[in-house]
Amino acid sequence: MKEVILDTETTGLSVKDGHRIVEIGCIELDNLIPTKNKFHCYLNPERKVSEKALEVHGYTDEFLSTQKKFSEICEQFLDFIKDKRLIIHNAEFDIAHLNNELAIFGKKKISNETIDTLVLARDKFPGSPVSLDALCKRYRVDNSRRTQHTALIDCDLLAKVYINLIDQKEPTLNFQSNDQEINEKNNSSVAYFKKVITPTSDELKKHKDYLKNNLKKNFFN
Cα 66 to Cα 73: distance, rounded to the nearest angstrom: 14
Note the pLDDT of residue 199: 67
The total domain count for the chain is 1
Cα 26 to Cα 4: distance, rounded to the nearest angstrom: 6
- Asked whether residue 152 is domain-assigned, the answer is yes
Of the residues 19, 57, 97, 149, which is catalytic? Answer: 149
Confidence check: pLDDT of 213 > 60: yes
Mean pLDDT of the chain: 85
For residue 19, indicate whether it is catalytic.
no
Mean pLDDT of 65-77: 97
- Asked whether residue 202 is domain-assigned, the answer is yes
Model confidence pTM above 0.95: no
Nearest-Å Rg of the Cα atoms of the chain is 19
| CA distances to 55, 96, 149, 150, 184 from 145, in Å | 16, 27, 10, 10, 29
Confidence check: pLDDT of 105 > 80: yes
Residues 6+ apart with CB under 8 A from 152: 7, 25, 27, 38, 40
- Asked whether residue 219 is domain-assigned, the answer is no
Residue 202 lies in domain: 2-214
- Over the stretch 109-144, which tens digit does the pLDDT of each residue have? 999 999 999 999 999 999 999 999 999 999 999 999
Q: What is the CATH number of the domain that holds 131?
A: 3.30.420.10
Mean pLDDT of 11-36: 96
